[in-house]
Each structure stands twice: as structure tokens, then as C-alpha cells.
Structure 1
Amino acid sequence: MPLESITDSTNHQPHRTEDGAGSRSPILANGWYSTSDLAACLRVDASTLRRWRTTRPPQGPPFVSISERVVMYSAQDVEEWLRSRRTVPGGEA
């Protein structure tokens, strides 16, 4: 069964910014996930994402620390991270 795009998740959509008339920075043009939103999409516990972030060196998808308690994940970065971890059975090692 093919996996749906992380941005096509039925219950958890990335946070989107209001569309400004050309005033939006490219980094804000994509969807963003909170830790709990991304954990639900990846079907892991939020503590797993926190552990990945605090491991040295950090593991998991790229993240942005907004504040001490707020961390966000770009939908585009998460999709790229997932693609980089893809394994094709029978493919070259």
C-alpha cells in the first residue's frame, strides 16, 4: 500500500501562514508542523522527536527552535528527510 504524502495527512495538516501579497518570505511559504502534529503524522510519540533533537549529534528531521518550548518542522524538510531514509528492497546497497 503506498504511503500518502505527509502533507496529505487526513487529520494533521501543517500550520500555514496567511497569504500576503508578495510579502511572504520563501521559508514561510511551506507548511509547518509542531512537534505534536509531526509526531502524529509519523506515528511516533512526541518524546521520540524530542529525544532525536537532543541527541548529540541531533537526529531526525531538521527543525527550527522558535523558543525554548516551541519547535517547528518544515513540511518540505520533513519530506526530504523521509526520502533520504527510503530503502528500496532489492536495490543496490
Structure 2
Amino acid sequence: MITLPTKPLMSTEELATLLDVDPSTIRRWRTAVPHQGPPFIQISDRVVKYATEDVADWLSSRRVYPKAA
């Protein structure tokens, strides 16, 4: 089970650590057309944050429930 941080915003690096991916993967998702990954907040040209609530919602939407055999 993934434990989300208790703070309201997280950095690209924190999200990458949470998802066990490289930060470049998160950046690639953000710049893809159409956008991939969770919603993000563009604070400035160099600062991007992710709302913990948005990350939780995005992860929940990605959940796959296999059908019973």
C-alpha cells in the first residue's frame, strides 16, 4: 500500500520517490501531449508541485480490478 505524504504539496522528486520511478519520468509525463500523470501546479517556470489530494485521486483512478476467473 502506498503511504501518501501528510503535507499538501509535493515536488517532482517526492512524487517520483513515492511512485518508485525516476524524476525524469514525471517530467516526461508532464510535457507529453496530451499530459499524462497526475494534475500538477505550475508555480513558476522552474517550480512545479503536485497536490497530495490530486495524486491520491489519480492513483485511485489508475487502479485495475481483475475480473474473477
Amino-acid identity (%):
50
What's the secondary structure of 1:6's corresponding residue?
coil
Higher relative CO (Cα under 8 Å, sequence separation at least 6) belongs to 2
Give the aligned length. Answer: 68
Instruction: Give me the whole-angstrom Cα distance separating, in 2, the residues matched to 1:70 and 1:64.
Output: 9
List alignment gaps of at least 5 residues for structure 2: none
Structure label with greater radius of gyration: 1
User: TM-score, length-normalised on structure 2?
Assistant: 0.89
Equivalent position of 2:20 in the other structure: 43
Structure 2 residue 30 is the aligned partner of structure 1 residue 32? no
Q: 1:61 aligns with which of 34, 38, 41?
A: 38
- The structural deviation recorded for 1:6 is 1.9
Equivalent position of 1:6 in the other structure: 4
Kindly report the root-mean-square deviation, in angstroms, between the aligned alpha carbons of the 2 structures. 1.4
Equivalent position of 1:74 in the other structure: 51
What's the secondary structure of 1:61's corresponding residue?
coil
List alignment gaps of at least 5 residues for structure 1: 8-12, 15-30
User: TM-score, length-normalised on structure 1?
Assistant: 0.68
